[in-house]
A and B are shown apart, each in its own frame.
Chain A
Amino acid sequence: MAAASDLQAAYRAYGAQLVRKAERMLRSREDAIDVVHALFTDLIPRWNSSVDLPYLYKAVTNRCCNLLRDRGTRARLLEREHAAAAPVGRVRMDDEVVGIALIAALAEELDESHIQVLVARFVDDMTQDEIAEHLGVSRKTIGKRLDRIREAVVKLREVA
């Protein structure tokens, strides 16, 4: 995935797919557009050619997680998620589609590197090899992080 030399070109080329990615996490098109627009607006003064699609994917994941950490926003998005049609969910965690509530709960428990793996695997449906390439770490590391994520989910369910 090559870097775009120009911010406007990158916005045109990647904006739509980044919005769809954010929408998969937030289940809200309006909020997804806000996230992507704000990301590119913030990049205006510090854009450089090293900003590539993997970087933008990671940045969108972080920004969506930050939104979900805010209680008010999370409650509003959860309300919308319940009202919307169930997502397709091709990759599931123990037969459960990973949605807003689980991402938000895990975002309280896990660090950014684990959240990136969680979202790449269960929201973007990436394979472990794809995630390893996307994040620039070994597949073994991805496996370990997925184990840690599953442990955190088990712990959450025990508490619930």
Chain B
Amino acid sequence: MSACIGTPISWPRLERHASGPTDATVVQHVEQCAACRACLDEIMRDVVALPVLAGAAVAAKRARWWWVALPAFAAAALALLLVWPREPHRAGNVALLKGGGEVTLGLVRERSGAIREDATTFAAGDRWKVVVTCAPGHGTWVDVAVVEAGAKAADHPLAAAHIACGNRIEVPGAFELTGKIANRVCVRVAAEVAPARDLLGGDDTACMTITPE
């Protein structure tokens, strides 16, 4: 089904008609045009599972009240600093965010539609997403780097992104791992500006190793 009886109704116009006020021209056209009617039906039937846009509301509200709460936060932070035991050990998939606690790295693998959150191996065609967990109320820049075993230089498959912290927050974008040797997938975090793309391995970096199948 491809031929329209006249001038096709554009997708944006069909979208407007589907979600807003009725467009009489569209109604009249789709009554007679099977091609455009199929497109409109496609829009009406479609369900898009949008991921949560974490942090947008929080970011807007935070700006209004944080000045008022600042003294209380400062006192609480000081008290915590005095009583909290020092962290004896940090796991490899945990990075330290200056002023924002720990950021835990997680990886999600999609293979032919099957999602695994515990995968440690890769094959051609797998899509990988990075998720991070950090204390709500903070924000962090996250830059993803992939380093092949033995290599010194890292690839950066995604643009650095600023995210609002929470539980398993998706870093925008997905990437693939290729080759026949293990890859270390790392995130470097920073509070204020996108992290520098230089040597990895400091406290601000968390990594996981993924091996080929």
6 shortest interchain CB distances as A-B pairs: A38-B172, A16-B48, A90-B8, A126-B10, A17-B15, A125-B10
Q: Is B11 an interface residue (CB 8 A)?
A: yes
Q: Is B137 an interface residue (CB 8 A)?
A: no
Q: Which of A38, A76, A92 has the most CB of B within 10 A?
A: A38
Contact of B164 among A36, A44, A47, A130 (CB under 8 A): A44
Interface membership of chain B positions 166-204, coded 1 if the CB is closer than 8 angstroms to chain A and 0 otherwise: 000010111010100000000000000000000000000
Contact of A57 among B8, B12, B159 (CB under 8 A): B12
Task: Return B37 CB to nearest CB of chain A, in Å.
Answer: 11
Interface membership of chain B positions 1-39, coded 1 if the CB is closer than 8 angstroms to chain A and 0 otherwise: 111100111111101100100000000000000011011
In the complex the two chains form, is B53's CB within 8 Å of A31's CB?
no
In the complex the two chains form, is A34's CB within 8 Å of B125's CB?
no
Residues of A within 8 A of B178 (CB): 72
In the complex the two chains form, is B174's CB within 8 Å of A72's CB?
no
Kindly state the separation between the CA atoms of A57 and B56 in the bound complex, as whole angstroms. Answer: 20
Contact of A34 among B9, B13, B173 (CB under 8 A): B173
Q: Is B88 an interface residue (CB 8 A)?
A: no
Interface membership of chain A positions 134-158, coded 1 if the CB is closer than 8 angstroms to chain B and 0 otherwise: 1000000000000000000000000
Residues of B within 8 A of A21 (CB): 11
Q: Is B161 an interface residue (CB 8 A)?
A: yes
Give 18 new A-B contacts, CB below 8 A, not counting A37-B50, A76-B176. Answer: A7-B53, A8-B53, A31-B174, A37-B53, A38-B159, A38-B161, A41-B162, A41-B163, A41-B172, A42-B162, A72-B178, A88-B35, A88-B38, A90-B2, A90-B4, A90-B36, A92-B2, A126-B12
Q: Is B71 an interface residue (CB 8 A)?
A: no
Size band of the interface chain A makes with B: 35 or more
Residues of B within 8 A of A20 (CB): 11, 15, 43, 46, 48
Contact of B2 among A31, A53, A89 (CB under 8 A): A89
Size band of the interface chain B makes with A: 35 or more
Q: Is B127 an interface residue (CB 8 A)?
A: yes
In the complex the two chains form, is A127's CB within 8 Å of B10's CB?
yes
Residues of A within 8 A of B163 (CB): 41
In the complex the two chains form, is A37's CB within 8 Å of B11's CB?
no
Known A7-B56, A36-B50, A124-B11: A88·B2 in contact at CB below 8 Å:
yes
Task: Return A98 CB to nearest CB of chain B, in Å.
Answer: 13
